[in-house]
Amino acid sequence: MMQFSLDQGLSVTSHVLAQDLAGESVLLNIQTEEYFGLDDVGTHMWQTLIEKESIEMAIATLQTEYDVEPTLLQHDVETLIDELLTHGLVELSAA
């Protein structure tokens, strides 16, 4: 798992194209030509992570929207971030 802290933010890398398809998303890394698909929940997490100033703020927002245990939500968000970072789809801002 890649290292990041909850006070960091995320932004979409310049070489990524994102397309919304009826609530789901397809992300394309044009450098590697790899596609990455997100279901409706993953798409909402992705959008919230990109919109909020920090991962912590995104998790707090998602916690108000989903009836899920906080530790499970944080784990799911961190797993998604790890996948996005691994595929070069996002980059971290300074903490």
pTM (2 d.p.)? 0.91
Q: Whole-number mean pLDDT of the chain?
A: 94
DSSP string, 61-85: HHHHHS-S-HHHHHHHHHHHHHHHH
Q: Which 3 state secondary structure label does DSSP give 53? A: coil
Tens of pLDDT, residue by residue over 11-54, are: 999 999 999 988 899 999 999 999 999 999 999 999 999 999 99
Determine what percent of the chain is predicted with pLDDT higher than 70.
Answer: 98
User: 40 by DSSP, 3-state: which?
Assistant: helix
Distance CA 46, CA 50 (A): 6
